[in-house]
Structure 1
Amino acid sequence: MARLGRSFGFLLSSTALSNLADGVLKVGAPLLALSFTRSPVQVALVGAAATLPWLLLALHAGAIADRLDRRRVMVLANVVRAAVLLAVAALGALGVMNLWIMLVAVLLACVSEVFADVAAQSVLPMTVTPAQLTTANGRVVSTQMIGNEFAGAPVAGLLVTLLPAAVFGAPALLYGAAGLLLLGMRGRFRPSAESTGRRSMAGDIGEALRYLWGHRFLRTLAVSAGLLNFASAAYFGVLVLWVVGEGSRIGMEPAGYGLVMTALAVGAVAGSLVSDRVTQLFGEGRALVGLWLISALLHLVPVLLPIDWLLYPTAVVWGAAGAAANVLVISTRQRLIPAELLGRVNSAYRLIGMGGMPVGAVLGGVLGELAGLPAVFLSATGVCLAAVGLLWRVVPDQISSPLTSDATIPDISRSRSAPKGVR
């Protein structure tokens, strides 16, 4: 920790608190929704509300991150979502709570999340050296998973049972504390004056979109991630109906579902911390394709083998593969994208990568209503495998060098020899 610097320490501590809040809200809201409805469509709306802001606001968040002080953007975003959730927690304590109030609360909190997350990924390269990015991102991702799943998920399961209003009140306090911790960071966290204020916001956004679309590898990576996230939103939007409750196929209690998420976090922490070693052993291209392939195939386990205890080891491997891949993808983007474009291109990437999630969540709910939950799970697995195949065609073995144009990226997809990916 010390060798990465004081500012990174405050950033990581803030990340720990905000992601603990994310974990309570992410797991608690769908579980709380079950107290209002068992409809797949209505439960899936919780996932749609959590991801819709990425579709609507990602590009604007990136433009703001490249114009303003990125630390201040993060502080303001945390304060806003703390205030929103405190207000909703008060309504819950008064007994004035229903599904639609909950959906509005999740939507507004996740609007702030878009601005906070884009600024956070853009500010990290301003706190550590390029050589430290993989190590720093490994610690950030492991911290995120500890908060989101290891700690947040079981806490959410208990709160839904014991004190439902605290599903919103506890995250509110954590977000507020996370914002205060960011004030301890020292240094300059605003892009250089030369790269800001030269164009309108529309011009800035257009520049980022042109850069991303002109970069063959980053473009393909974004589209592949978009397909994966689209399918995962459909899958996880209704998974709780398959796993939790008397009418479910597996029949877990809410607390048990929280422990499954904890198992996923255990794997994710391990995966994020060894991601650098994995890439050294197999090469970045092979590692990324292989990790995504493992994650895709694990979607089949709950539907083909609906056994409660089997969910725990499955979740561990799932978490390890997903987190290791995330560290690799984030570090790659931070190296490939020029510093003055980082906020905007990151947000353009995440618009493609995450913009389809609300659509996937809703379509998953509709398909589950019409054809049953297994149809959702099998369809999502097929889309994930297609995404892995798309990336496999173009990924070079080494993708971490600071490249800025397609001309410098090996075009292995046209080679007659086998691509350097996992078959």
Structure 2
Amino acid sequence: MTDTIPGTGTPRPPRRPGALSLAPDFPMLWGASAVSLLGNGISSAALPLLAATLSTDPMVVASVVVVGRLPWLLFALPAGAMADRWDRKRAMWLADLVRAALTGVLAVAVAAGFASIGLLMAVGFLIAVADTVFDSSNTAVLPKVVSGDPDRIRRANSWLVGTRTTVESFAGPPLGGLLFGFSRALPFVGDALSFLLSAALLRRMRGDYHVSRNVYGETGLWRAVAEGCSWLWRQPVLRSITAVAGLFNVACLAQTAIFVLFAQQELGLGAFGFSLLLAVGSFGSLFGAAQAGRLNAWFGTAVSLRLALVAAGAACLVTAVAPDAWTAGAAEVLAGFAAAIWNVNQMSLRQSGTPDHLLGRVTGAHRLVTYGGMPFGALLGGLLASAAGLRASFVVAGAIMLALAVFAAATITRSRVTELVGEPAAGRG
């Protein structure tokens, strides 16, 4: 019997699946992401605050970020290849345990009074090595968790991006600032515990997340890496998204690396005020994650991606001239909205359009470009701040993002998106 709306006889529209109904293992994956991201949010406020107590030199503070991003240049490709060879679920929970141990070591050192810029660099570097393994496996496992359906992949990414926004950007930074005010070690204790809980949740996933051996074969490591890179290069949309995302992250890190100094010296904010400024962007991100599907229905995925770049560039330029924290906060909301639209769509396109046996390696190649550019962005931010003042980084970042929007208009087109994954015509939403 057809389900109808009472009193009208009109068939009910199909319900959109929530997080619990996307797939049996998705709640575990989602829960693990939530607790781990909360820890990341706590550390995202505490780590720059700790660095700022050890040095007020923009180049020194930016160097902590640079070193923490270097592993993406060195290990992204082999980590992606391993994600196509190992049990992806096991790779994730083992990486979580390694990150928990390293963060615990940092917490003990801070509590004992042994914190230094060198220690922050060393621990940040090693945690990022584990990040490369976790991220490649996590990205590659999602399509299999939700049975490979493109619409479910986009909905799952909307849930994950929305959760990232809520816990990492909204709840985490203020909590990190508060904990840092009580004790400099407490935020890192919380981060270590979040990794342990994430590992426990991931171990409860019941599905088989190996890649079939008859698909992967016994190819050597670097030959397997080359196969993934070659496949990515032959896909016009994914190739363009990777290039744009790489420069996008350079622009983002040019701001992020010196943002704590900008908040303190230009806006007059303390530790808690800085944490709140980081958090307000989450309102825009939540709205963007929730509306990504609707924007795609109105305009199509290709146009949505371009609009996100334009909005991100505008947000940077507003921040550059912001006279107070209120204006900077409004710009953060716009930036969060743009980032959510961009991330939901680019991740979903890559996951939907890439064969499962190649997804780890394609993700590794993508991350090599996108995350590998982050150290250069952090270095650029430090140099600009030292040479031309803290606001200069935001001006340059805005110009880069607007230029990327023009490039995307020529390379990320509706016809190419349709060729990659198939997409209904825009305007049906």
TM-score by length of 1: 0.92
Q: Which runs of 5+ in 2 are unaligned?
A: 1-18
Letter in 1 for 2:201: L
| 1:284-308 C-alpha deviation (Å, 9 max, x unpaired) | 1111100111011110112212211
How far apart in 2 are the matches of 1:399 and 1:49? 37
Moved more, 62-71 or 102-111: 102-111
Q: Is 1:253 matched up with 2:273? A: no
Match in the other structure for 1:338: 355
SS of residue in 2 equivalent to 1:38? coil
How far apart in 1 are the matches of 2:415 and 2:166? 29
* Alignment counterpart, residue 176 of structure 2, candidates 138, 141, 156: 156
Match in the other structure for 1:388: 405
Match in the other structure for 1:288: 305
Contact 2:237 2:417 in 1 (8 A): no
Q: Is 1:219 matched up with 2:236? A: no
Match in the other structure for 1:141: 161
Match in the other structure for 1:52: 70
Aligned pairs, number: 404
1:229 shift after superposition: 0.5
Match in the other structure for 1:175: 195
Alignment of 1:397-412 (within 5 A): 397=414, 401=418, 403=420
Match in the other structure for 2:109: 91
1:402 shift after superposition: 6.8
Match in the other structure for 1:190: 210
Alignment of 1:26-175 (within 5 A): 26-129=44-147, 130=149, 131-175=151-195
Contact 1:367 1:375 in 2 (8 A): yes
Contact 1:27 1:153 in 2 (8 A): yes
How far apart in 1 are the matches of 2:153 and 2:175? 31
How far apart in 1 are the matches of 2:272 and 2:64? 19
| 1:127-161 C-alpha deviation (Å, 9 max, x unpaired) | 10313111111001111122211111101111222
TM-score by length of 2: 0.91
Q: Is 1:358 matched up with 2:353? A: no
Contact 2:32 2:201 in 1 (8 A): yes
How far apart in 2 are the matches of 1:115 and 1:125? 17
Match in the other structure for 2:321: 304
1:253 shift after superposition: 1.3
Letter in 2 for 1:123: V
How far apart in 2 are the matches of 1:18 and 1:50? 18
How far apart in 1 are the matches of 2:302 and 2:24? 33
Match in the other structure for 2:280: 263
Letter in 2 for 1:200: G
Contact 1:335 1:402 in 2 (8 A): no
Letter in 1 for 2:86: L
Contact 1:284 1:398 in 2 (8 A): no
How far apart in 2 are the matches of 1:324 and 1:398? 20
1:50 shift after superposition: 2.7
| 1:211-251 C-alpha deviation (Å, 9 max, x unpaired) | 1112222111111111111111112111221112xxx1111
Moved more, 44-53 or 342-351: 44-53
1:401 shift after superposition: 4.6
How far apart in 1 are the matches of 2:360 and 2:41? 25
Q: Which runs of 5+ in 1 are unaligned?
A: 410-419
Question: Once the two structures are aligned, what percentage of the paired residues are identical?
Answer: 33
How far apart in 2 are the matches of 1:180 and 1:265? 27
Moved more, 64-73 or 346-355: 346-355
* Alignment counterpart, residue 344 of structure 2, candidates 312, 316, 327: 327
How far apart in 2 are the matches of 1:399 and 1:82? 42
How far apart in 2 are the matches of 1:38 and 1:168? 21
How far apart in 1 are the matches of 2:32 and 2:349? 23
SS of residue in 2 equivalent to 1:299? helix
1:370 shift after superposition: 2.0
* Alignment counterpart, residue 368 of structure 1, candidates 385, 391, 402: 385
| 1:18-42 C-alpha deviation (Å, 9 max, x unpaired) | 1111111222111111101111101
How far apart in 2 are the matches of 1:398 and 1:260? 39
Letter in 2 for 1:159: L
SS of residue in 2 equivalent to 1:309? helix
1:183 shift after superposition: 1.0
How far apart in 2 are the matches of 1:357 and 1:119? 20
How far apart in 1 are the matches of 2:112 and 2:257? 28
| 1:365-422 C-alpha deviation (Å, 9 max, x unpaired) | 1221122223222222222222222111111226655728xxx99xxxxxxxxxx9xx
Alpha-carbon RMSD: 1.7
Match in the other structure for 2:12: none
